[in-house]
Structure 1
Amino acid sequence: MSTSVIERGNTKMNRKILSISSKRQVTIPQKFYQLLGFGDEAECVMRDGELIIRPIKVSSGGEFAEQILAELIREGLSGEELLTEFKKRQAQMRPAAEAMLTKAEEIAEGKADYTTYEDIFGMEE
């Protein structure tokens, strides 16, 4: 089947009807796969009665690499020990960020309590 363009409000979307195999598998059209930058994994989310399949954005944790290295050097690590501990801490960054995002979503949905800046530090006088 060919790809078509549909409009929802002011948003234009590319649309393609997919077949679902007997094993409940679908194939992502090559055009979508390439344009969206899919790799070896995809994230599947159900939201408002829709199934969303999107590429996993690979983050090496490089955003914090300099801070991690500086901390390890302050701790006196070097050589192979430095490299091993750096890899360990860098691998912890993504799960920590995902946990923070999950908590933020729960707070936004009213499913979790939140703490304000004033709750933690009090009001400045």
Structure 2
Amino acid sequence: MKEQKKQIKIMLAWTLAWVASLAFLTVINKSAGAENSLWDNIIFTQIGLIINLAIGIGMIIANKNLFKTYDELQKKIQFEAMAITLGLAVVVGLTYEVSFDFGVINSEPEFEYLMLFISFSYTASNIINSRRYR
């Protein structure tokens, strides 16, 4: 349990670092007045994106290390939540995309909405599975 708490803190640190680096890139690029220029120089944007990618990989590794500390029930809950989330993301994401292509919705699908849907799906799946296996 002590190791799990340690890994949770490490995971939290990596997640916050990744979110902060992505937010920094987004804010700096938007405030510079252009979509793809950090301080009017694309090389800084590219370096920032590489750093963000590296932090994201660190976050994935931290998540993997956290899973190693889980008991079998926790692993089962997480596995099922991930399976449900992946399935929902593919089905809802593709339906969302083709509904625009077929003219059912007028606005082009935004990736941010899909990410929000994935977050809610994963959280809800975890809560439901945790209660089911109590």
TM-score where L is the length of structure 2: 0.33
Higher helix share: 2
Higher strand share: 1
Flag the structure with more relative contact order, 1 or 2, with Cα contacts below 8 A and sequence separation at least 6.
Answer: 2
